[in-house]
Amino acid sequence: MTRAYNFCAGPATLPVEVLEQARDEMLDWQGRGLSVMEMSHRSEAFVSIAEQAEQDLRELMGIPDDYAVLFMQGGASSQFSAVPLNLAGPNDAVDYVNTGVWSKKAIAEGKRFADLSVVASSEEDGYTHVPDPSTWQLRSNARYVHVTPNETIGGLAYSRFPDIGSVPLVADWSSAILSEPVDVSRFGMIYAGAQKNIGPAGLTLVIVRRELLGNAQASTPAMLDYQVAHKADSMYNTPPTYSWYLAGLVFQWLKRQGGLDAIKAINDRKAQKLYGFIDQSDFYANPIQPEFRSRMNVPFTLADDRLNDEFLKGATARGLLNLNGHRSVGGMRASIYNAMPEAGVDALIEYMAGFEKEKG
Ligand code: PMP
């Protein structure tokens, strides 16, 4: 069997060990005679899978007891509406920072449900930096401040988070969750679509301080109401059981790697290698100010756009898949999430060097 290196931004590559375990357990999960996909979500077997996944996630991220962990559906995009619906009234102030395409989507949706203000933006410089928190025009009556710690398309990441006092910080961590340790207590809420560092698409993780629950706008659909999900142990309706199970296997894999400190060290090394190579080259370029470069998504351009197709074709032929940039920005992008082995980054750099030598 040959496995390619898949640099897709999401759904993204998963750890081989996880896929192998899922394969081995596919027809008969732990002697029960059925696959996880076929289990009732109310069965003792599935409830044990679900509880173990939550426990492992809490351990990995050090999630304090006063936070609820919700396994929801609808992707991070559903959270763009769920966040204001749950955490603010229709006339309440909510503050957003605009650092890229995903912030902008959250802003467009949030505007429909609250009095939203964009308190800082780096749009005018092409999203190549995160606006300095000292410049954010925060409103003291805001119900929360929304940030996007890792912009998947632009390859832009926060290098630090401001202390904003008692106003909850809400983070769309879809593309960098679990890539490094995080002090959860500094955030009112963290959410993430699963299909990058967590598991298969279909599952959305919500980590929210319990005291923020229970004040959803009256019109909030039950499926988006955190309190409803919390009271039902994330089983108000049928949850995405197989995605939940696979996420649990990924959490166990992460624990075997040594947890988030260990995975951060590997992620740092992978990113340094790739950016280091791009920076020493006259042929490849990355526009992001070094302090704000994402360690998960590395966009880069070729000196001559006309070579893009040939670059991608050659890469695919070598088993280096999905290096094309997002359709909205073009160029290239290598997503190097937790599950991308260091050997994959090495193989990419070797290919890029050879291509440059030939065409540069
Ligand atoms: N936020 C970020 C930062 C993302 O990268 C994405 C998906 N790429 C989304 C939100 C939207 O996620 P979903 O497709 O799960 O709705």
**Separation of CA 2 and ligand 1 centre (Å):** 29
Cβ-count burial 172-196 (b if 16+ within 10 Å, e if not): bbbbbbbbbebebeebbbbbbbbbb
**Separation of CA 3 and ligand 1 centre (Å):** 26
In this prediction, residue 1 carries a pLDDT of: 66
Q: Are 152 and 102 in contact (CB under 8 A)?
A: yes
In this prediction, residue 315 carries a pLDDT of: 98
In this prediction, residue 123 carries a pLDDT of: 97
Mean pLDDT of 13-26: 98
Q: Check pLDDT > 80 for residue 162.
A: yes
Both structure tokens of 68: 């609820």
In this prediction, residue 327 carries a pLDDT of: 84
Give the C-alpha separation, 352 to 300, whole Å. Answer: 11
**Separation of CA 213 and ligand 1 centre (Å):** 23
Which residues line ligand 1 at a C-beta cut-off of 6 Å?
10, 75-77, 102, 148, 152, 172, 174-175, 193
Mean pLDDT of 209-238: 98
Both structure tokens of 92: 């309440």
Q: Looking at ligand 1, which atom is closest to the CA of residue 150?
A: 3
* Nearest CA, atom 15, ligand 1: 75
Band (61; pLDDT cuts 50, 70, 90) = very high
Give the C-alpha separation, 245 to 234, whole Å. Answer: 14
Mean pLDDT of 109-119: 98
* Nearest CA, atom 12, ligand 1: 76
Q: Check pLDDT > 80 for residue 144.
A: yes
**Separation of CA 75 and ligand 1 centre (Å):** 7
**For ligand 1, mutation pick of 73, 77, 206, 333 (most atoms within 8 Å of CB):** 77
Q: Check pLDDT > 90 for residue 224.
A: yes
DSSP state of 210: G
* Nearest CA, atom 10, ligand 1: 76
Give the C-alpha separation, 192 to 177, whole Å. Answer: 7
Q: How far is CA 219 from CA 84, 191, 222, in A?
A: 12, 21, 9
Q: Looking at ligand 1, which atom is closest to the CA of residue 153?
A: 5
* Nearest CA, atom 4, ligand 1: 174
Q: Check pLDDT > 90 for residue 330.
A: no
**Separation of CA 296 and ligand 1 centre (Å):** 14
In this prediction, residue 360 carries a pLDDT of: 83
Both structure tokens of 231: 């009271």
Both structure tokens of 147: 């940030």
**Separation of CA 324 and ligand 1 centre (Å):** 17
Q: Check pLDDT > 70 for residue 32.
A: yes
Q: Check pLDDT > 70 for residue 271.
A: yes
pLDDT digits (tens, 9 = 90+) for 164-218: 999 999 999 999 999 999 999 999 999 999 999 999 999 999 999 999 999 999 9
Q: Check pLDDT > 90 for residue 328.
A: no
- The residues annotated as belonging to the active site are 102, 172, 196
Give the C-alpha separation, 119 to 131, whole Å. Answer: 10
pLDDT digits (tens, 9 = 90+) for 146-157: 999 999 999 999
**For ligand 1, mutation pick of 175, 206, 322 (most atoms within 8 Å of CB):** 175
